Amino acid sequence: MAEIASDGGGKKGGKSRSKKMSTKIDFTPMVDLGFLLITFFMLTTTLSKPKTMEINMPEKDNITDSTKVKASTALTLILSENDKMYYYFGIGENGQPPEVKTTNFSSKGIRKILLERNEPQIKKINALRAKLNARQITVEEFKKEAGIVKSDKNALMVLIKSDDKAKYKNLIDILDEMQITSVGKYAIVDITPPELEMIASVPL
């Protein structure tokens, strides 16, 4: 214990003998203080730093790009309420309205469709990844090659649209699915009036 107590009165007339002081100090209050501060920092800190997802939107004025979507590779997703979505293949040319179906965000829903549709690309990317893991190619080469595979002109092109009832979370989820299923070509596009009519007739 704290043994720095001073010898108050002292003996009268006695020889003043220097007392041997103990060098031990009681650390308990210091520990208390330490833990108090730790608690404070633990409660106020944000340990998990926010993550970010980057997106490049197509330029507004540059419409020529978007018109070149090949009907055979196009998949249109229309996000809607209650975490569900409509989807159809192709772009509904020749006055034939495409068949609109519905699905959800589960791994058996949209992911299955995307995995099936994007299979050739996924196979190529998996082959590249195997090479990467076997140290046959470098990370830069892998990224470059994967980029080429993803932007292949026969690769799936996903058009992400949404009606007014969808939530922001749905958008992030679907962008996530694009990453999971290695879809390299996707765009967030405005919904068109014919599509609104199309989805109105399909129950969710």
Partner 1 sequence: MPKVKIPRKSTSIDMTAMTDVAFLLLTFFMLTTKFKPDEPVQVDTPSSISDKLLPETDIIQILVDGDGRVFFGIDGQPTRASMLDKMAKRHNLTFTEQERAKFSLLSTFGVPVSNMKQLLSLSGDERNALKQPGVPIDSLNNELGEWVLYARQSNPKFRIAIKGDRDASFPVVKRVFDILQERQINKFNFITSLEAAPQD
**Contacts to partner 1 by CB under 8 A:** 1, 26-28, 30-31, 34-35, 37-38, 41-42, 44-60, 79, 107, 111, 162-173, 175-176, 179-180, 188, 190
The nearer residue to partner 1, 91 or 171, going by C-beta atoms, is: 171
Only one residue has tokens 């107590």, namely 5
CB 8, min distance to partner 1, A: 23
CB 34, min distance to partner 1, A: 3
In the structure encoding, which two tokens stand for residue 154, read together?
A: 């026969």
CB 203, min distance to partner 1, A: 20
The nearer residue to partner 1, 93 or 164, going by C-beta atoms, is: 164
Q: How far apart are CA 204 and CA 80, in angstroms?
A: 9
Q: Rounded to the nearest 5°, which phi and psi values hold at 82?
A: 50, 35
CB 126, min distance to partner 1, A: 9
The nearer residue to partner 1, 3 or 99, going by C-beta atoms, is: 3
Nearest to 155 by CA among 122, 200, 105, 118: 118
DSSP symbols for 70-135: -GGGEEEEEE-STTEEEEEES---TT-PPPPEEEESSTTTHHHHHHHHTHHHHHHHHHHHHHHHTT
The nearer residue to partner 1, 37 or 204, going by C-beta atoms, is: 37
